[in-house]
Amino acid sequence: MALPVLEHLSVGQEVGRREIAVDRARLVRYAGASGDFNPIHWNERFATGVGLPGVIAHGMWTMGAAVGVVSDWLGDPGAVVDYQTRFSRPVPVPDPGAATVEVVATVGAVDADSRTARVDLAVSTGGTRVLAKAQVLVRLA
């Protein structure tokens, strides 16, 4: 697979798209890896008791899963210079079953002088955007 070339990018160009499934087992594994054992991510009764629609995915899992689309496109996760977002809605994870997070990555800006591009991520589940202003700054050779 050829690595992206800055001169071949244009604003509005889609550079990646993916659907990512997350189930309760994945949340438990993520909790173990991250150390985030907040019961809103595994206990239905607790989650609904604090006003959530049910168990929700970790925000940082959602953020990390979404940027994977960009790092895979780049072929080099080290080319990610900056990544920022706001968490706008939770990702409810049913039991049984899984939630699907849809990610679409498009070029938002290109800066030839600094050899960087901004990649904007549209991240949603069930048609509802879950990350707002998700932007990844990448540096290309």
pTM of the predicted model as reported, rounded to 2 decimal places? 0.94
Q: Would you place residue 141 in the very low, low, confident or very high pLDDT band (cuts 50, 70, 90)?
A: confident
Report the topology of domain 12-22+57-139.
Thiol Ester Dehydrase; Chain A (3.10.129)
What is the pairing mode between strands 116-125 and 14-23?
unpaired
* Domain-wise residue ranges, the chain: 12-22+57-139
Q: Would you place residue 1 in the very low, low, confident or very high pLDDT band (cuts 50, 70, 90)?
A: low
Tokens matching residue 103: 């990610």
In DSSP notation, 95-138 reads SSSEEEEEEEEEEEEEETTTTEEEEEEEEEETTEEEEEEEEEEE
Kindly report, residue by residue over 87-124, the tens digit of the pLDDT.
999 999 999 999 999 999 999 999 999 999 999 999 99
